[in-house]
């Protein structure tokens, strides 16, 4: 379970998170939505301890992330797969080496035969051709890089998956492929997922519950049905951009 209580974060004079309360239950997929630049990625990074909040509490699996010692934080992180917005693949390494780094158990990481099998499995799970493992990130398309990023995140069999804008910058066809992949991985692997996105259509398709971040606070959390029925002006404003889009209705 992931819990955030009263999380504040500012960069200089800019207040990014202004008392965020947010909760993700075991086994569910939550889409954290909001317009660009509202601090969704910052919020996700605080969960994994990449950004320290100015105040507030972040609890993952009953552990307060900001009070963990270095080794404890490393152990917690090895239980969380993080998919970066632009893949964040190591460009001097092949796909094989990139995904291998996701195998966080050091003994398994050293076992080359295990790594070969696990990497092939992860590459298959994200629907990439088997020969992709020999390529470098620069030889891949944007959609393929995102899928390799997902393969790396799942390689260590994490309990949680955090997706930072997995479909941003992709054409609708590739965005649909990634959405479908997220949904399938959640079903097949049984992980607890948080997906940061400003793509309402994808969020409705993938998530069990939705949350809307605006002006540094969570404006609403609820099921897709509750969001559709909401009369909150900020929720309506955010959703209606996509309701007017014929592709959403489809």
Partner 1 sequence: MAASTTFDIRQITGRFVLEGASHVGRLTYFMADTIRGLSEVRIWWPRMLEEAWNIGAGSLFIVLLISAFAGAVTALQTGYQFTGSIPYYVVGTLVVSSIILELGPVLTALILAGRIGARYAAELGTMRVTEQIDALESLGRSPASHLVIPRVLAGLIMIPALTILANLSGIASGWISVKAVLPVTDADFIYGAQYYWRPWDAYYSVIKAFFFAGSITIISCYMGFNTQQGAEGVGKSTTTAVVASSVLILVLDTVLTRLLLNQ
Q: Kindly list the residues in this chain that would bind partner 1 in the complex (CB under 8 A).
A: 45, 48, 50, 70, 73-78, 80, 82, 84-86, 88-91, 101-102, 104, 106, 152, 156
Taking phi over 0 as left and psi of -120 to 50 as alpha, with beta for the rest, 226 belongs to alpha
Q: How far is the CB of 104 from partner 1 (least distance, A)?
A: 5
Nearer to partner 1, 50 or 228 (CB): 50
Distance CA 179, CA 77 (A): 24
Nearer to partner 1, 100 or 209 (CB): 100
Nearer to partner 1, 106 or 131 (CB): 106
> Residue 153: what are its φ and ψ, rounded to 5°?
-65, -30
Nearer to partner 1, 88 or 220 (CB): 88
DSSP bridge partners of 7: 20
Q: How far is the CB of 245 from partner 1 (least distance, A)?
A: 30
Q: How far is the CB of 250 from partner 1 (least distance, A)?
A: 34
What is the b/e burial string over 107-136, where b = at least 16 CB atoms within 10 angstroms of the residue's CB? eebeeeeebeebbeebbebbebeeebbebe
Distance CA 181, CA 146 (A): 11
Nearer to partner 1, 82 or 227 (CB): 82
Residue whose entry in the numeric block shows the structure tokens 């994994």: 48
Nearest CA among 144, 152, 199, 181 for reference residue 31: 199
Helices (H) and strands (E) in the chain, counts: 11, 10
Q: How far is the CB of 70 from partner 1 (least distance, A)?
A: 7
Nearer to partner 1, 57 or 85 (CB): 85
Kindly give, in sequence order, each residue whose CB lies less than 8 Å from that of residue 250, ignoring residues fewer than 6 positions away: none
Burial of 96 (0-12, 13-18, 19+ CB in 10 A): middle
Distance CA 215, CA 152 (A): 33
Q: How far is the CB of 165 from partner 1 (least distance, A)?
A: 12
Q: How far is the CB of 196 from partner 1 (least distance, A)?
A: 14
Nearer to partner 1, 167 or 214 (CB): 167
Q: How far is the CB of 169 from partner 1 (least distance, A)?
A: 14
């Amino acid at each position: 379970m992931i819990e955030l209580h009263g999380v504040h974060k500012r960069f200089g004079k800019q207040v990014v998170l202004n008392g965020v309360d947010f909760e993700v239950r075991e086994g569910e997929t939550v889409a954290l939505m909001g317009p660009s630049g509202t601090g969704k990625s910052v919020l996700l990074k605080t969960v994994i301890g990449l950004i320290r909040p100015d105040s507030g509490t972040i609890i993952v699996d009953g552990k307060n992330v900001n009070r963990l010692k270095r080794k404890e934080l490393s152990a917690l992180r090895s239980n969380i797969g993080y998919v970066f917005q632009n893949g964040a693949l190591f460009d001097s390494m092949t796909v094989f080496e990139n995904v291998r780094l996701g195998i966080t158990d050091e003994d398994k990481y050293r076992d080359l035969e295990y790594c070969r099998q696990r990497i092939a499995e992860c590459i298959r799970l994200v629907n990439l051709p088997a020969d992709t493992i020999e390529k470098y990130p620069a030889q891949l398309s944007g959609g393929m890089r995102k899928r390799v990023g997902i393969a790396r995140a799942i390689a260590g069999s994490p309990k949680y998956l955090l997706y930072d804008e997995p479909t941003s910058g992709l054409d609708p066809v590739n965005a649909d492929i990634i959405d479908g992949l997220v949904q399938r991985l959640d079903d097949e692997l049984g992980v607890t997922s948080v997906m940061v996105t400003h793509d309402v259509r994808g969020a409705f398709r993938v998530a069990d519950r939705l949350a809307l971040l605006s002006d540094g606070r969570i404006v609403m959390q609820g099921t897709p049905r509750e969001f559709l029925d909401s009369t909150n002006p900020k929720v309506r404003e955010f959703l209606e951009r996509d309701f007017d889009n014929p592709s959403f209705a489809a």
